A and B are shown apart, each in its own frame.
Chain A
């Protein structure tokens, strides 16, 4: 497993180029090009803001800011996950022509997703000001939360990259699960608001990422420290990372023959 990490580190230049070229290829075909990197999260957030805030009249005065940060972090997770499922099978030509650590492929999707997060963050900053987010020292937790999320995403994506190579229809299943998890996570609502108090612990333990999402909102908008439930999320992320790394390393050589 440590070997795996070392191999990836050695080929970091390859990772860099795959990320760069893939982003280029994704944006180049569109007229607006990388303007979409800003428009995508903005339009998505607007849809939900209109729906929840204006049509259903819920969410409170800071709702747009709360929604936006949760949505960004969710999108990073969701897009990495759906990319990872086909990350191996979509690069058959590359894989069959030269040897390199295959983990670079799902990893590149995660990094591309993080760039999208960064583009979205540029949009988020003015939104934070408009909706009077309270800036406190707790904002320093943000990189920590991102790191935890990154570790967790890597774990899940490594697993999904392997399983997605074996099972052709995993992509469909994942799309469906992502959708369900979206509604089960505190993105369109806050736990305090919508989850009855006696179920809070159950909810937070049942959905380890809920703690992380709530923490994002806390540190950026509400100016409070992360919730204690983020610890659950952290533990789950680390365990997922270890499982993913182990599973991927175990099956890596089998993958080449399965595509």
Chain B
């Protein structure tokens, strides 16, 4: 269903945007043609996801996990390799992103529905289910910027779950909720596991272990391991243990 072959995503580390147009002109006039440094956020990443798979992506901060999701969502075109996605992808929800803070929760549900290509009627159908799941109450007509992170997480999760797309991408939104939300999210996840294709990025190993049938461990943009959840998680945890410092000599 998803086929990623030797994927590479490259970013240019440009200072230009920060320093602005004036600095750009000055640099030009001084003829200092410094070519910007390149940085591979992902390189030589290959994996396949079958229909109904639940894939967990783990790795340290900045290892490229979210970038993988964005590639699958079609946001980043690959600089190297090939990516083919067969099926429709839900919006990618990560904490804080994907919402327009000035708009109400209601309008954000509409906007996200339209963005992934749902029809207006369909959005109205799933509207109540989403609101009920998200437990927003009166907040539904308040701007999203007034929401707590738990409320955002619930709303984002609910939209991702109900957008009836084949592929659901979840970027660490399960982590922000309280115990009650986690339970509900678990139930919801179990409902769609096996039925839809899910890719989860999380630092919560028990979530990954519970749902995933395949785990990818990314380390600084390359694949460190892939396979059985238990094994890969063990390897990852072993590798990220803080090494004890040798006793000082004096």
Binding site for B on A (CB under 8 A): 13-14, 17-18, 21, 24-25, 28-29, 91-100, 165-170, 173, 253, 256-258
Given contacts A14-B115, A21-B107, contact A99 B17 (CB under 8 A): no
Report which of A93, A167, A169, A258 forms a contact with B100, defined as CB distance below 8 A.
A93
A97-B93, A100-B115, A165-B17 given; 6 more Cβ-contact pairs under 8 Å: A13-B120, A18-B111, A21-B110, A98-B73, A98-B115, A258-B17
A96 and B92 contacting across the interface, CB-CB below 8 Å:
yes
Q: Which residues of A contact B40 (CB under 8 A)?
A: none
B22 and A256 contacting across the interface, CB-CB below 8 Å:
no
Q: Which residues of B contact A91 (CB under 8 A)?
A: 100
Main secondary structure of the interface of A (DSSP, over half): helix
Going nearest first, the 5 A-B pairs with the smallest beta carbon separation are A99-B74, A169-B20, A25-B102, A97-B98, A93-B97
Main secondary structure of the interface of B (DSSP, over half): mixed
Determine the residue in chain B with the shortest Cβ distance to A169. Answer: B20
Interface string of B86-115 (1 = CB under 8 A from A): 000101111011111011000100111011
Per the CB 8 Å criterion, the residue count for chain B at the interface is: 38
Q: How far is the CA of A168 from the CA of B16 in the complex (A)?
A: 8
A92 and B115 contacting across the interface, CB-CB below 8 Å:
no
Given contacts A97-B92, A98-B73, contact A167 B114 (CB under 8 A): no
Q: How far is the CA of A241 from the CA of B14 in the complex (A)?
A: 29
A168 and B17 contacting across the interface, CB-CB below 8 Å:
yes
Q: How far is the CA of A13 from the CA of B75 in the complex (A)?
A: 20
Q: In the complex, what's the smallest C-beta–C-beta distance from A103 to chain B, in angstroms?
A: 15
Q: Which residues of A contact B116 (CB under 8 A)?
A: 98
Binding site for A on B (CB under 8 A): 11-12, 14, 16-22, 24, 70, 73-77, 89, 91-94, 96-100, 102-103, 107, 110-112, 114-116, 120, 143
Q: How far is the CA of A21 from the CA of B108 in the complex (A)?
A: 9
Q: How far is the CA of A21 from the CA of B112 in the complex (A)?
A: 12
Report which of B21, B76, B143 forms a contact with A167, defined as CB distance below 8 A.
B21
B91 and A24 contacting across the interface, CB-CB below 8 Å:
no
B73 and A17 contacting across the interface, CB-CB below 8 Å:
no
Q: Which residues of B contact A92 (CB under 8 A)?
A: 97
Given contacts A14-B115, A17-B111, A257-B11, contact A97 B20 (CB under 8 A): no
